[in-house]
């Protein structure tokens, strides 16, 4: 069984999604929906990472349960730039790019959760299946949120 490979990839992709959410939140502080919801959705990734690291120990994996999702020293600079530029054209286009990246990343994470669920179900690993049932719906909501924000923002940003 190759559950260790799927869990490693899932851990990496959850981390990447959480980081994208935090970066978007930091870059778009003047857009309160993006800023606050992005941070909330990143906490879901943190919870998923803890669960993946915990279940990974059963497969001799040493995955970090609390990796940093923050952008480090650039975070304050990104927030200040966002505050000063607001919704001008370039930051607005950056918002669409960020939302697209979040959507694509969440879709990839969703596929990883689905693969793990199918394999766990196939070999009757109820512990793994339970993790997927707790976490995968969150990922689907993250993807739905990014898609909804793209729909709400695209017309105004692209035709102005």
Q: What does residue 30 show for φ and ψ, rounded to 5 degrees?
A: -80, -15
Question: Domain residue spans in the chain?
Answer: 3-159
Give the long-range contacts of residues 154-157, CB within 8 A, separation 24 or more: 154/96, 157/92, 157/93, 157/95, 157/96
Query: How far, in whole angstroms, is CA 75 from its chain's centroid?
Result: 17
- Say what percent of the chain tops pLDDT 90: 73
pLDDT one-digit tens code per residue, 84-105: 544 445 678 899 999 999 999 9
**Domain 3-159: which topology?**
Ferritin (1.20.1260)
The residue with greater pLDDT, 69 or 71, is: 69
Q: Check pLDDT > 80 for residue 83.
A: no
* Model confidence, pTM: 0.87
Query: How far, in whole angstroms, is CA 52 from its chain's centroid?
Result: 14
User: Most distant CA pair in the chain: distance in Å?
Assistant: 54
Report residue 157's pLDDT band, with 50, 70 and 90 as the boundaries: confident
């Amino acid at each position: 069984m190759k559950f260790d490979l799927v869990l490693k990839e899932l851990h990496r992709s959850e981390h990447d999604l959480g980081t994208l959410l935090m970066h978007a939140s930091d870059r778009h502080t003047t857009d309160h929906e993006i800023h606050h919801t992005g941070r909330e959705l990143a906490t879901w990734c943190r919870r998923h990472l803890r669960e993946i690291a915990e279940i990974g120990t059963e497969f001799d994996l040493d995955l970090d349960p609390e990796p940093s999702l923050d952008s480090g020293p650039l975070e304050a600079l990104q927030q200040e730039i966002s505050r000063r530029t607001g919704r001008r054209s370039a930051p607005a286009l950056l918002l669409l790019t960020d939302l697209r990246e979040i959507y694509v990343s969440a879709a990839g994470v969703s596929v990883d959760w689905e693969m793990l669920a199918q394999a766990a179900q196939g070999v009757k690993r109820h512990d793994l299946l339970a993790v997927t049932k707790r976490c995968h719906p969150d990922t689907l909501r993250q993807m739905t949120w990014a898609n909804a924000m793209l729909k709400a923002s695209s017309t105004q940003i692209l035709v102005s």
